[in-house]
Amino acid sequence: MSDLYWLSEAQMRRLAPLLPNDTRGKPRVDDRRVISGIVHVLRSGCPWRHAPREYGPPKTLYNRYVRWAIKGVWRRLFETLAAAGGP
């Protein structure tokens, strides 16, 4: 049994409109993989450097988490999902 966490396609469809689209330079790597990795680290409490390699480089996970925190992406995302209710 795998202890990896993966967002479902339905969850990603719900999140997609809430994600930033102002990317400059190189396009973002797979949002589903990176966000799933961030959730895994936050749920498990493991250090970023110990994130399973299936999620990609730990530096990518950490950088995305921090950059989106500074931009308020996570707050807006959680507020929007909480206001919508449901699971």
For helices 58-71 and 73-84, give the axis angle rounded to 10 degrees: 80
Quote the domain boundaries for residue 71. 1-10+29-87
In a domain, 4, yes or no: yes
**pLDDT at position 5:** 92
In a domain, 78, yes or no: yes
Query: What predicted TM-score, i.e. pTM, was given to this entire model?
Result: 0.88
Number of domains in the chain: 1
In a domain, 17, yes or no: no
Q: Round to whole Å and give the CA distance between 45 and 82.
A: 23
**pLDDT at position 1:** 38
**CB neighbours (10 Å) of residue 71?**
12
Express each pLDDT in 37-86 by its tens digit: 999 999 999 999 999 999 999 999 999 999 999 999 999 999 998 998 86
In a domain, 24, yes or no: no
In a domain, 15, yes or no: no
